[in-house]
Amino acid sequence: MERILFGDNQFFGINHMSEEKARQQAMQFAELPAVMHTLRAAHGAGLDVFMCTTHDRVADIAAAVRAAPGEWPGMKFYPCMPYAHKYANAVTELGYFDAIKKFLPSGGLIDTALRGGKALLKRDVESVATLLIDAEMKPFVGLETPVIFIQNVVTDLILGLGFYEAFAIFADHIRSRYKAEAGFITMNLPLLLSALDQVGIKTPIVCANVNKIGFRMSGGIDAYREATERWPARVIAMSVLASGAIPAAEAIEWVTNEAYVESILFGASSERNIRNTVDLIRRFDKRESLAA
């Protein structure tokens, strides 16, 4: 994986520290040209991976990149699914069964089960899951998607339920259908690495909060170090600034020295902030220095 990845929170008004900043960003990126301008700035700074949710508006971003391939050499998408609010809104508007029908193809097993108002049987989980994955992947047809993630809201729900086989179902489908690797976003890296190992997923790609103050790191920094020592993984560090609680230079110097961190994910709403963050990573990062 690339060392530095660009995220999409700023495009959809998501900020874990400030509701006011989130509101301002939502207004700033209300129109597609503003989004594409910032994404182009990230690409120009050498960031070839856009790690994004399957938000409805991402389909427009994907279409814009697909329509002008010459402007985006080497560009890759790392889709993260599902975008939970999309399904939650559908459930609120339509109810559970009609919401599922909205996102799945009509006919066959699903309609038969839903017409009778029956709960889906356990043996049907794989059929439903793979259909939902394929629906989420439609906007990315024709684009490079070498890694495809499950969002933490689903990853951690599966962990809580103890239905670890679901991770293998996802990984197998991603590999066979899209020739891609599965990735997993979590708020509990130690528990997830143990679960993935139990279903035969070795050296997984896992995205989790990693920062100097242990913000939203379940079990704390030492637990993450111990877990990755026991179950090696390719870890993508997100929230490295702890939503602004740590000065950028201090945060990045620390995270680049965490041996288990393979990639660093960040988002920014201006070209200046993008370049400043990239410059800091390259200044402190021994891997980047060796690559140069």
Give the CA diameter of the chain: 62
Average pLDDT, the chain: 87
Q: What is the pLDDT of residues 118-171, one digit of tens each?
A: 444 445 667 778 888 998 999 999 999 999 999 998 999 999 999 999 999 999
Average pLDDT over residues 87-102: 64
- For the chain, the straight-line distance linking the first and the last C-alpha, in angstroms and rounded, comes to 16
Q: Quickly state the pLDDT bin for 114 (edges 50, 70, 90).
A: very low
pTM of the model: 0.87
The domain of 214 spans 4-291
**Residue written as token pair 């329509």:** 67
Count structural domains, the chain: 1
Output the CA–CA distances (angstroms, integers) from residue 101 to 32, 135, 153, 286, 287, in the order listed. 29, 12, 21, 50, 47
**Shortest CA distance to 184 belongs to which of 140, 223, 153, 228?**
153
Range with lowest mean pLDDT among 130-134, 180-184, 206-210: 130-134
Instruction: Give the domain CATH number at 115.
Output: 3.20.20.100
Residue 31's CB: how many other CB atoms inside 10 A? 9
- Say what the pLDDT of residue 96 is: 55
Q: In 3-state terms, what secondary structure has residue 159? A: helix
User: 200: left (phi > 0), else alpha (psi -120 to 50), else beta?
Assistant: left
Alpha carbon distances (Å) from 33 to 124, 145, 172: 42, 23, 37
Tokens 């809580």, residue?
160
Residue 187 CA to residue 121 CA, distance in Å, equals 29
**Three-state DSSP class for 184?**
strand
pLDDT confidence bin for 27, thresholds 50/70/90: confident
pLDDT digits (tens, 9 = 90+) for 211-246: 999 999 999 999 999 999 999 999 999 999 998 899
